Amino acid sequence: MSYAKPHAGVQPVRHQWNRIPVSEIGFSSPTRLENGKLFIHIDELAELLQSDPNIGDVRFEIARPGESVRIIPVKDVIEPRLSLIPGYPGFPGVLSAWDPDAGGVPSGEIASLSGMVVTTVGSIVGFQEGLIDMSGPGARYSLFSGKLHLVLDITVKEGTKRHDHEKTVRMAGIKASDYIARSVLNGPLPSGSRETLTNPEYPGSPGSPKRAGRNGLPRIAYLYMLQSQGLLHDTYYCGVDVKTMLPRRIVPTEVLFGAIVSGNCVSACDKNTTYHQQNNPIILELLRRHGTDWDFVGCVITNENVTLGDKQRSSTLSAELIASLSPDGVIVSKEGFGNPDADLMMNCSKIEAHGIKTVLLTDEFAGQDGASQSLVDSHPKADAIVSTGNANEVIVLPPLEKVIGDDRVITELAGGSNKCRLPGGSVAIELQALIGSTNQLGFERISSRFK
């Protein structure tokens, strides 16, 4: 007999996050971590990945910070993590079954490798995949230039349909991360940093504070918008395509476990890679100072669908869910650009209509000359905006010594064009083409202002 377990109740969900640093990557057998050096048995990993019949070939490469290396076209970036909680798997609902509505998220430990990531590249699937430069002027725009990369260069079998191609590559990256984490983090953990993150209480629990914040602290909520516009523009929560979902609360530390996985390369600059989701800095900061500088009252995830009806419904439901947490203010982060600007404005105006203050994180598409209007939609209540930069601004990237992947596609990337190659091998390309450069979860320091 199965029954819904009672929710966490009065005790908030607590997770201990162990971060084990990696200082170097090499290929050798067996897969192991020795004094901070990660060795990977690539034949074993290749065999694991090739159990997916769609995979034609996988090649492995390493990229290090400071190297003259360009990785292109990037599909996803993932940080290897291992859930140490029996019964609650990493990438829940993706690698193994997990239904967030059949039981609560249990408290416990999680371990991750920090300083290294798994990055997937491969023959171009869509227009909007991007690049990572490990050195040079492009490197300062993304935190990924500071990571060690295990790059999977994946070729699918001929004739694979686009939807299957995307899924194959997505799953390969996750499986590879999981393989590394299980190989290396199972057992006594090497030394690293450790922190305890305590989630907001379930709003209905007895004793959970309502309107007046504890000790006069401001009550803050977070509305987390996820891209859900179709092939190459999708995101998954516990394996469920977010476009089929209604807005819902999550336990904020679920993101550590890979509960939100990226299936989109919606425009390299403002796509949330799985890494970005796993390390959501808004959630982490709100948790770290919860109870001292503010009361973090909860996090709601919502989608960005392609019909007006869906946008209206999701924004109404999100606003109501947020309002039920009784916050004084809400941070709203967007993913992607263009018609999601409409979702952003609806979310903002409906939350503000409840008397709750909003701050929005968004990038801009103000044209290469910066003279154009940055967003396609607007609302007078959107009076507090943090800009993560104009994605149309052009930068010149010099040729780098090594390309992992295929850089002939650079003119096809969003932000490239058939005019972008310069004599001498440089490319003049929009920021749009650099993975994570204008990320709207707020990882980076770039912004834009009127000149």
Partner 1 sequence: MAKEIERAGIPVAHVCSIITISQTVGANRIVPAVAIPHPLGNPKLPLAEEKELRRNLLKKAFAALQTPVEEQTVFS
Partner 2 sequence: MAATSRNRKTRIVHYVNQFFGGVGGEEKADCEPFTIQGPQGPGRLLEKMFREENADVEIVATVVCGDSYFADNQEKVLRELIPAIQGHRPDLVVAGPAFNAGRYGMACGAICQVLEPLGIPSVTAMYKENPGVDQYRKTVLIVESANNVTGMEDAVRKMVRLCIKRLRGEEIEFPKAEGCFEQGIRKNYFHEEPAYRRAIDMLLRKIHGEPFDTEYPIPFFDRVEPRPALADLKGITIALVTSGGIVPKGNPDHIESSSASKYGKYSLEGLETLDAKTHQSAHGGYDNTYANEDPNRVLPIDMMRELEKELGFKPHPWYYATVGNGTSVDNARKFAKEIAVELIRDGVQAVILTST
Nearer to partner 1, 355 or 380 (CB): 380
Binding site partner of 442, from partner 2, partner 1, none, Cβ cut-off 5-8 A by kind: partner 2
Rounded Cα gap, residues 134 and 140, in angstroms = 9
Tokens representing residue 366 in the block: 């103000």
What's the 3-state SS for 290-357? ECCCEEEEEEEEEEECCCHHHHHHHHHHHHHHHHHCCCCEEEEECCCCCCHHHHHHHHHHHHHHCCCE
User: Comparing C-alpha atoms, which of 31, 11, 34 is closest to residue 22?
Assistant: 34
Nearer to partner 1, 232 or 287 (CB): 232
Q: Restricting to residues 422-441, name those near partner 2 by CB under 8 A.
A: 430-432, 440-441
Using rule CB under 8 A, residue 274 touches partner 2: no
Q: Which of 265, 299, 348, 420 does the annotation list as catalytic?
A: 265
- Of 112, 390, 410, 434, the residue at the interface with partner 2 (CB under 8 A) is 390
DSSP assignments along 212-255, one per residue: SPGGGPPEEEEEEEEE-SSTTEEEEETTEEGGGS--EEE-GGGG
Number of residues that bind partner 1 (CB under 8 A): 14
List Cα–Cα distances, 3 to 6, 7, 54, 70, in angstroms: 9, 12, 38, 51
Binding site partner of 341, from partner 2, partner 1, none, Cβ cut-off 5-8 A by kind: partner 1
- Of 2, 371, 423, 424, the residue at the interface with partner 2 (CB under 8 A) is 371
> Which positions ≥6 away from 109 have C-beta within 8 Å?
15, 16, 17, 18, 84, 85
Using rule CB under 8 A, residue 339 touches partner 1: yes
Using rule CB under 8 A, residue 306 touches partner 1: yes
Binding site partner of 232, from partner 2, partner 1, none, Cβ cut-off 5-8 A by kind: partner 2
Using rule CB under 8 A, residue 127 touches partner 2: yes
Using rule CB under 8 A, residue 377 touches partner 1: yes
Using rule CB under 8 A, residue 109 touches partner 1: no
Binding mask 47-86 for partner 1 (x = CB under 8 A): ----------------------------------------
Binding mask 329-368 for partner 2 (x = CB under 8 A): xxx-x---xxx-----------------xxx-xx-xxxxx
Shortest reach from residue 300's CB to partner 1, in Å: 21
User: Comparing C-alpha atoms, which of 235, 18, 145, 238 is closest to residue 434?
Assistant: 145
Amino acid present at 228: S
Q: ∠ at Cα 249 (90, 294), nearest 5°?
A: 100
Using rule CB under 8 A, residue 46 touches partner 1: no
299 in active site: no
Using rule CB under 8 A, residue 162 touches partner 2: yes
- Of 18, 120, 128, 135, the residue at the interface with partner 2 (CB under 8 A) is 128
Nearer to partner 1, 212 or 308 (CB): 308
Shortest reach from residue 41's CB to partner 2, in Å: 37
**399 touches 425 (CB < 8 A):** yes
Three-state DSSP at 261 gives: strand
Round the CA-based radius of gyration of the chain to a whole number and report it. Answer: 21
Using rule CB under 8 A, residue 166 touches partner 1: no
Q: ∠ at Cα 234 (233, 240), nearest 5°?
A: 170
Binding site partner of 414, from partner 2, partner 1, none, Cβ cut-off 5-8 A by kind: partner 2
Shortest reach from residue 128's CB to partner 1, in Å: 15
Using rule CB under 8 A, residue 236 touches partner 2: no
Using rule CB under 8 A, residue 446 touches partner 2: yes
Shortest reach from residue 382's CB to partner 1, in Å: 11
List Cα–Cα distances, 220 to 167, 243, 291, 327, in angstroms: 36, 26, 11, 5
Chain mean position to CA 197 = 19
Strand arrangement of the beta sheet that strand 233-237 belongs to? 240-241, 233-237, 260-264
Binding site partner of 30, from partner 2, partner 1, none, Cβ cut-off 5-8 A by kind: none
Binding site for partner 1 (CB under 8 A): 229-230, 306-308, 311, 339, 341-342, 345-346, 376-378
Residues involved in catalysis: 265
